[in-house]
Chain A
Amino acid sequence: MWEKKPVLFLLLATLAILVGTIVTMVIPFAWVNTEADRIATVTPYTPLQQAGRDVYIREGCNNCHSQTVRPLVADVLRYGEYSKSGEFVYDRPFLWGSRRTGPDLARLGGKYPDAWHTQHMEAPTSMIPKSNMPAYAFLNQNPLDPGYIRKCMKVLGFPYTEADIAALNGKTEMDAMVAYLQKLGTGIPKAAAAAVVGDLKNPFPKDPGSMQAGQQLFAQNCAACHGSHGEGGIGPELEPESYQDADLFKTIYNGITDNGMPSFAALGSTKVWQLTNFVNYRKEH
C-alpha cells in the first residue's frame, strides 16, 4: 500500500533515515565537548594562529595531511601521544583529514624551529629532497588583514586584545601559518621522553659499516638543518671529535626541547649510535 502513496512513502523513508541519524549523530553531542571532555591546558587560537589555520584551510592542506594520532603502536612512535577529544574543542571546522599523502601533523608543534618551517614551505625539496609537496613561497608576499582577523575572532568567540590585533600589522600569511603549525598538538603536556639513563657504552666504535650507515642516516635526518657536511644552517655546526659519545647519543635520542632539536628516539638506539659515530668521527674537514 505504501507503494501507491507517495506522501506516506516520503514520511516512512524520512523516519527510516532519522533513526540511525539520531542515535549515532545527534546523541553523541551529549558526551562530546562537555565538561568531562575538557582539558584545562588546551587554549583557543591566538589571532595569528587562527589566521594561519584559515590559510591552512584555504590551501587545502587537509587533502594530504591528517591531524589525529591513533592509539596504535606505529602511530604513537611516529607522531607522538595519541589524540584526545578535548584537544579539538576550539577547532571549527575539525581538520582530521582522511589521507596521509604527507605525514600526520597533529603533534607538529615544537618539533622543528620556525626557520625550518619557513624554509620548508618556501621550497620543500630543499629540506626533504624527494618530497612531492607543492611550494608555498607566495605566502611570504601576502600581508595579513588585522581588521578581518578581528572579525574572525569575534565570530569564533575567542579571547584577544587590541594589542594582539595591532601586532598583526606587517606580518605575512607565512608567519601566521608557522604560528599555527607550532601550536598543533601542544595543548597537552609532552609525555616525558623515554629518557636514556645509566652508563652508555658505544657498541661499535668507528666501525666502517656503521660509519656508512650513519652517513646515510645523516643525509636523511640531519643535513636539512645542520648542512650536508655538518657545516651548520638552521641548526649549529657539528665539529667532529668534539663530543663525548654518550652525550651526543643522548642529544640525538632525546632531542633538545627548548631550541628546536627534535628527538630521534623513533629511529631506535642502533641507528642513533650509527649517527653518533658518523657525526663524531667522520673525516671530511
Chain B
Amino acid sequence: METPPYNYAIVRSFIVWSILWGVVAVLVGVLISFQLVEPALNLPPYLTYGRLRPLHTNAGIYGWGIGSFFALFYYMVQRLCRTPLWSDGLARFQLWLFNATIITAAVTLLLGYTTSKEYHELEWPVDIMVVVLWVVFSVNIIMTIVRRREEQMYISLWYMMAALVGVAVLYLVNAAEVPVSLFKSYSAYAGTNDANVQWWFGHNAVAMVLTAPPLAVFYYFLPKSTGVPIFSHRISIIAFWSLVFMYLWTGAHHLLWTPVPDWVQTLAMAFSIMLIAPSWGSVFNGYLSMNGQWHQMRENYLVKFLILGITFYGLQTLQGPSQAIRTFSAFIHYTEWVPGHVHMGAMGWVSMVLFAAIYYLVPRLYDRELYSIPLANLHFWLVLIGQLVYSVSMWIAGLQQAGMWHALNSDGSLTYTFMETLVEMYPYWWIRAIGGVIYLAGVLVFIYNLVRTARSGKPAADAVAA
C-alpha cells in the first residue's frame, strides 16, 4: 500500500522546541528550589521566587507539555487517519505562534505581569495568543480527522478530541477579565466565586492537558512499542467516557475547608474518589496489554518508560483522591506534600510517557538508529531516581510539617511557632534540590542522545523506517 505524504517536518520542529522549553522549565525549577534554601539567590525585582515559580510551571505545562503534545498529536492524527495533515501552512504558522507565545509569556511573567491565578497567570494579551494558538491547532486536527481514510477512530483520537474541547471551554471561562492597561486586568469574578472558577479550571487543566493527552500518547505508543494491541477495547470506552464525565466535578477539592459552599466541596470529594475507577481502568488496560510481554521490560527501553509512566499515573490517581478527602486534606493541604504529589505526575507520569514517544519518533523522523541505548537506560534511571528523591523527600517533609502545624500542648496552645516548623524544612529542601539536579542530568543525557542520533546516528535499516 502506498504511504500518503505525511508531514513529519512539523512533528520534528515541535519536538525540538518542546524539549528546549522543557530544559528551561527544569533549569528554573532547580534554581527556585535553591532559592528556598538560600534566599540570597533571589535577585529582585525580576528573578525572585514569586516571579520565577510561574515561569517554571508555565514553561513545564505549556512549553514542554503542550509543545510535545502538538508534535505527537500531529504525528498520531496523520497515522491514525491515514491522511496527511489538513493544512501544512497553518501548522507552520502555529509553530511560530507557539514559540512567540512562550517567549512573550516568559518575558511578561518576569516583568511581573500576572493574573495570579495558578497555571493561568498569563495576562490578557497573551491569553489571546493562547486562544488563537488553540483554535488553529484544533481546526487542523479536527479537519484532518474529518478527512480521514480510516473509518474507525482509535482510542487516542478520542482523548485528543476531548482535550481540544476541554481546554477551549476551561481556558475561555477562566480567562474572563476586564483590562485596565495593556498588561493588567481584573478578574470578572470576585472572591469565593473567583476561587471556585479558578480551581474548576486548575484541576481540569490537569485533566485536559496532563491526563487526556498523555493517555492518547500512551494508548498509541504502547502497542507500537510492544507490537501487541491494547488488551480491551471495552475497558477503553468505559474508562474514557467516565473520566471525561467525572473529572469536571472535582475542582473544589482544592478548596476544602474554605468558604466555598460545603455541598460543592462534598461533591468534589465524592467524584474525586469515583475517579479512581476510570483512571485505573487505563492503568489495568496498560498492564494487561503486557500479558506475555513482560520480558520486554528488560529488553525494550521504550516499554520501560511507558510502564513506569502508567504506574506513576496509577499511584498519582490513588494519592490524588486520598488528598481530596476532607480529613486528609485538613492535614496535608498547604504543606510540602503537595509539590511532592504534583511532581510525581509531572516528572513521573507525563514526562516518562513523553520521553518514550520521542525516543520512538526521533529515529524514524531522522531515518537513523538511536545513537545509544545504554544512554537511554542511563536517562531512565536518572529521571526515575531524581523524581523519587524529589517526591519522597517532599512527602516526608509534608507529614512532619503538618504534624508540627497541628501539634497542641496539653493546655490547648500550639506547640510550635511557624518559624520552628519552617526551619525543619531546610534539610528536605536541600534533598529536593539535589533530586532536581539528578533529574536535570537525566534530561541532558536525553538531549545529548537525541542530538547524536540526528547528527551522526547509523542510517536506519528499512525495518525502522516509519
A positions within 8 Å CB-CB of B? 3-4, 6-7, 9-10, 13-14, 16-21, 23-25, 28-29, 31-33, 37, 54, 57-64, 66, 68, 70-74, 77-78, 83-85, 87-96, 98-104, 124-125, 128, 130-138, 148, 151-152, 155-156, 220-221, 265-271
B residues less than 8 Å from A90 (CB atoms): 190-191
B302 within 8 A of A: no
Q: Of B113, B117, B180, B241, which is within 8 A of A155 by CB?
A: B180
A21 CA to B207 CA, complexed, in Å: 13
A89 CA to B189 CA, complexed, in Å: 9
Q: Of B166, B254, B334, B411, which is within 8 A of A269 by CB?
A: B411
A88 CA to B248 CA, complexed, in Å: 25
A58 CA to B113 CA, complexed, in Å: 6
With a 10 A CB-CB cut-off, give which of A84, A96, A99 has the most chain B CB atoms.
Answer: A96
A156 CA to B190 CA, complexed, in Å: 10
Which of B151-159, B346-354, B380-388, B431-439 forms contacts with chain A?
A: B151-159
Cβ contacts B83-127/A at 8 Å (1 or 0 each): 000000000000000000000000000001111111000000000
Also in contact, A17 and B248, with CB within 8 A (given A28-B260, A70-B330, A132-B37): yes
Also in contact, A60 and B194, with CB within 8 A (given A3-B153, A17-B165, A138-B45): no
User: CB within 8 Å of A: which of B2-48?
Assistant: 35-39, 42, 44-45, 48
Contact assessment for B169 and A88 in the assembled complex, using a CB-CB cutoff below 8 Å: no
A94 CA to B196 CA, complexed, in Å: 10
Contact assessment for A59 and B51 in the assembled complex, using a CB-CB cutoff below 8 Å: yes
A24 CA to B261 CA, complexed, in Å: 10
A23 CA to B114 CA, complexed, in Å: 29
B residues less than 8 Å from A54 (CB atoms): 184
Contact assessment for B39 and A77 in the assembled complex, using a CB-CB cutoff below 8 Å: no
Q: Which residue on chain A has the smallest CB distance to residue B202?
A: A98
A221 CA to B241 CA, complexed, in Å: 56
Contact assessment for A64 and B49 in the assembled complex, using a CB-CB cutoff below 8 Å: yes
B192 within 8 A of A: yes
Q: Interface majority SS on A: helix, strand, loop or mixed?
A: helix
9 closest A-B pairs by CB: A268-B413, A60-B50, A88-B191, A20-B248, A134-B42, A85-B259, A70-B257, A20-B249, A58-B112
Counting chain B residues whose Cβ lies within 8 A of the other chain, the interface size class is: 35 or more
User: CB within 8 Å of A: which of B215-265?
Assistant: 241, 244-252, 254-255, 257-261, 264
Contact assessment for A74 and B193 in the assembled complex, using a CB-CB cutoff below 8 Å: no
B82 within 8 A of A: no
Cβ contacts B409-429/A at 8 Å (1 or 0 each): 101111001111011000000
Also in contact, A9 and B161, with CB within 8 A (given A20-B249, A23-B249, A268-B411): yes
Contact assessment for A68 and B190 in the assembled complex, using a CB-CB cutoff below 8 Å: no
A residues less than 8 Å from B197 (CB atoms): 25
Q: Of B158, B184, B264, B419, which is within 8 A of A9 by CB?
A: B158
Q: Of B36, B161, B271, which is within 8 A of A10 by CB?
A: B161
A residues less than 8 Å from B181 (CB atoms): 148, 151
B148 to chain A, nearest CB (A): 8
B162 within 8 A of A: yes
Also in contact, A33 and B190, with CB within 8 A (given A14-B165, A17-B248, A98-B338): yes
Cβ contacts B156-183/A at 8 Å (1 or 0 each): 0010011011100100010000111100
Also in contact, A88 and B145, with CB within 8 A (given A100-B334, A156-B186): no
B residues less than 8 Å from A138 (CB atoms): 44-45
Q: Of A57, A74, A83, which is within 8 A of B114 by CB?
A: A57
B268 within 8 A of A: yes
Q: Can you identify 15 A-B contacts, CB atoms within 8 angstroms?
A: A4-B151, A6-B153, A13-B161, A25-B200, A59-B48, A60-B48, A62-B116, A84-B259, A88-B191, A92-B188, A96-B195, A102-B422, A132-B37, A151-B181, A221-B417
Q: Which residue on chain A has the smallest CB distance to residue B196?
A: A28
B residues less than 8 Å from A270 (CB atoms): 409, 411, 413
Contact assessment for B334 and A92 in the assembled complex, using a CB-CB cutoff below 8 Å: no
A228 to chain B, nearest CB (A): 16
A104 CA to B408 CA, complexed, in Å: 18
Contact assessment for A89 and B190 in the assembled complex, using a CB-CB cutoff below 8 Å: yes
Q: Of A31, A57, A148, A268, which is within 8 A of B261 by CB?
A: A31
A14 CA to B151 CA, complexed, in Å: 22
Contact assessment for B189 and A92 in the assembled complex, using a CB-CB cutoff below 8 Å: yes
B45 to chain A, nearest CB (A): 5
A94 to chain B, nearest CB (A): 4
A60 to chain B, nearest CB (A): 3
Contact assessment for A135 and B165 in the assembled complex, using a CB-CB cutoff below 8 Å: no
B53 within 8 A of A: yes
A177 to chain B, nearest CB (A): 13
Contact assessment for B54 and A268 in the assembled complex, using a CB-CB cutoff below 8 Å: no
Contact assessment for A93 and B115 in the assembled complex, using a CB-CB cutoff below 8 Å: yes
B residues less than 8 Å from A156 (CB atoms): 186
Q: Which residue on chain B has the smallest CB distance to residue A90?
A: B190
B406 within 8 A of A: yes
Contact assessment for A271 and B267 in the assembled complex, using a CB-CB cutoff below 8 Å: no
- Given A60-B114, A90-B190, A90-B191, 14 more A-B residue pairs with CB atoms under 8 Å apart are A10-B161, A19-B248, A20-B248, A20-B249, A21-B169, A25-B197, A57-B115, A60-B48, A60-B49, A66-B334, A74-B408, A78-B418, A93-B116, A130-B423
Contact assessment for A266 and B419 in the assembled complex, using a CB-CB cutoff below 8 Å: no
A3 CA to B236 CA, complexed, in Å: 12
Contact assessment for B51 and A88 in the assembled complex, using a CB-CB cutoff below 8 Å: no
With a 10 A CB-CB cut-off, give which of A77, A92, A94 has the most chain B CB atoms.
Answer: A94
Contact assessment for B409 and A268 in the assembled complex, using a CB-CB cutoff below 8 Å: yes
Contact assessment for A63 and B54 in the assembled complex, using a CB-CB cutoff below 8 Å: yes
B187 within 8 A of A: yes
Q: Which residue on chain B has the smallest CB distance to residue A3?
A: B153
B198 within 8 A of A: yes
A260 CA to B60 CA, complexed, in Å: 43
User: CB within 8 Å of A: which of B256-307?
Assistant: 257-261, 264, 267-268, 271
A40 CA to B260 CA, complexed, in Å: 19
A73 CA to B406 CA, complexed, in Å: 8
A90 CA to B186 CA, complexed, in Å: 11
Q: Which residue on chain B has the smallest CB distance to residue A272?
A: B413
B335 within 8 A of A: yes
B398 to chain A, nearest CB (A): 11
